[in-house]
């Protein structure tokens, strides 16, 4: 899939995992440089602390190299990262995750919901200095809001061809149609962006005097357990049987979030508080689309297949729907749910717990 053998490419279930080790030949030079630099500082400070007179000159010997100590510590830390660290990109149905380690790095890890990604693109960075002009490259994600987020920085790689390959593999997996982005490296080789219609609203706007939980839309506010939440993201499932379900991300003022799934069953609207299963959790459930199990045993709970649904999924950011299939399982007491969703052959699994509609109150519609 990738021509550069520095990349390790794996497909595990519905995820692709791409790993790149940070090691560069310059790391070998830095080892000797750090040893010499830090050895000098150790000798310097052993001399400085050997004096007991406490004169201003003694203090100057202690204070003067502090900047050099910071450089030594930082350079040693970076050198260790070059030998030990790797960066892993995991593209899954629900998230694009970038993790670097095992030694923590200043930028930290990232997790971006795939529904928020409009395009991936490579950006060229040109720097001019006394020694001429240098070019490096970044892999960035353009979000639906227009904001660009750096996924892969130039300190890890300077080869534009590698990043273009990486971009294509991830976009293909996530089902993103490749289009040119303003400021993109070699954007003339890509299709121009299509003029997109406005995203389809999850429901036709209408005045609701006493809104209930099923009326929640993106931008609405609701109270749950004495805490106010904003409906920050909305996905709506329009099933072929006429029912429409919603998956809403609720976010409070501390940026804590909950997933609220509202299932329509004819005239009933049943809310479930859900959590999306991570890769390790999901891998414990054996599921074949061609032969879905009638019962799933997970964490000592038996879930029975309640309903199979097929239809379209709309999001509050995208103008076009996604073909979707869903297998909805319920525990024997019908208080817990297991939801398996297939969007373009990308599977997501959710665990849910039934909640009463009255638990969601004071719904504010702007």
**Phi and psi (nearest 5°) for 63?**
-80, -35
Closest CA to 156 of 88, 74, 91, 90: 88
Count CA within 13 A, CB hemisphere, residue 266.
0
* Phi, psi at 38, each rounded to 5°: -70, -30
Q: Alpha carbon of 58 to those of 51, 184, 225: distances in Å?
A: 7, 55, 62
pLDDT, tens digit, for every residue of 97-116? 888 889 998 777 888 888 88
pLDDT in tens, 154-183: 544 457 788 888 888 888 887 787 888 877
Domain ranges of the chain: 7-22+85-189, 26-84, 213-364
Residues of the chain with pLDDT under 50: 155-157, 197-207
Beta carbons within 10 angstroms of residue 162's beta carbon: 20
Is 100 in a helix, a strand, or coil? strand
> Is 219 in contact with 231 (CB distance < 8 Å)?
yes
**How would DSSP label each residue in 295-307?**
EEEETTEEEEEEE
The dihedral region occupied by 335, where left means phi > 0, alpha psi between -120 and 50, and beta the remainder, is alpha
Question: Of the CATH numbers 3.40.50, 3.30.420, 2.30.29, 3.30.70, which one belongs to the domain with range 7-22+85-189?
Answer: 2.30.29
Is the omega angle on the peptide bond into residue 102 within 30 degrees of 0, that is, cis? yes
Q: How many CB atoms lie within 10 A of CB 295?
A: 10
Q: Which residues on neighbouring strands pair with residue 92, listed in sequence order?
A: none
Report the pLDDT value the prediction gives residue 303, as an integer from 0 to 100. Answer: 96
Q: Quick check: helix, strand or coil at residue 84?
A: helix
Helix (H, G, I), strand (E, B) or coil at 74: helix
- Distance between CA atoms of residues 24 and 26, nearest Å: 5
Residue-level pLDDT at 199: 46
CB distance 196 to 319 below 8 Å: yes
The pLDDT value recorded for residue 204 is 45
Q: Within 13 Å of residue 228, how many CA atoms lie on the same side as its CB?
A: 7
Give the pLDDT of residue 198: 45
């Amino acid at each position: 899939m990738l021509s550069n053998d520095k990349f390790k490419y794996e497909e595990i279930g519905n995820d692709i995992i791409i790993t790149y080790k940070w090691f560069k030949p310059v790391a070998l030079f830095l080892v000797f440089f750090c040893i010499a630099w830090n050895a000098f500082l150790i000798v310097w400070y052993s001399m400085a602390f050997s004096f007991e007179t406490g004169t201003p000159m003694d203090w100057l010997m202690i204070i003067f190299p502090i900047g050099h100590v910071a450089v030594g510590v930082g350079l040693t830390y970076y050198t260790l990262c070059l030998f030990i660290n790797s960066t892993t990109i995991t593209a899954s149905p629900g998230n694009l995750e970038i993790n670097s380690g095992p030694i923590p790095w200043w930028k930290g890890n990232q997790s971006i919901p795939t529904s928020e990604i409009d395009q991936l693109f490579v950006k060229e960075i040109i720097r001019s200095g006394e020694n001429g002009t240098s070019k490096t490259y970044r892999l960035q994600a353009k979000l639906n809001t227009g904001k660009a987020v750096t996924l892969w920085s130039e300190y890890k790689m300077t080869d534009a061809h590698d990043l273009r390959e990486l971009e294509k593999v991830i976009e293909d997996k996530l089902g993103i149609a490749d289009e040119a982005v303003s400021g993109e490296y070699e954007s003339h080789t890509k299709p121009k962006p299509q003029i997109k219609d406005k995203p389809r609203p999850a429901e036709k706007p209408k005045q609701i005097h006493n809104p209930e939980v099923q009326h929640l839309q993106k931008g609405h506010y609701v109270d749950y357990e004495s805490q106010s939440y904003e409906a920050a993201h909305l996905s709506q499932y329009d099933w072929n049987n006429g029912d429409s379900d919603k998956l809403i991300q609720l976010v409070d003022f501390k940026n804590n979030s909950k997933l609220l799934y509202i299932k329509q069953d004819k005239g009933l609207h049943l809310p479930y508080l859900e959590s999306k299963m991570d890769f390790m959790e999901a891998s414990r459930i054996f599921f074949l689309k061609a032969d879905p199990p009638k019962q799933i045993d997970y964490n000592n709970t038996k879930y029975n297949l309640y309903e199979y649904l097929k239809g379209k999924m709309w999001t509050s950011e995208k103008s076009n729907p996604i073909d979707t299939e869903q297998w909805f399982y319920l525990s024997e007491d019908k208080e817990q749910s297991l939801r398996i969703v297939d969007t373009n052959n990308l599977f997501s699994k959710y665990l849910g717990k039934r909640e009463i509609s009255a638990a969601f109150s004071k719904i504010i519609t702007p």
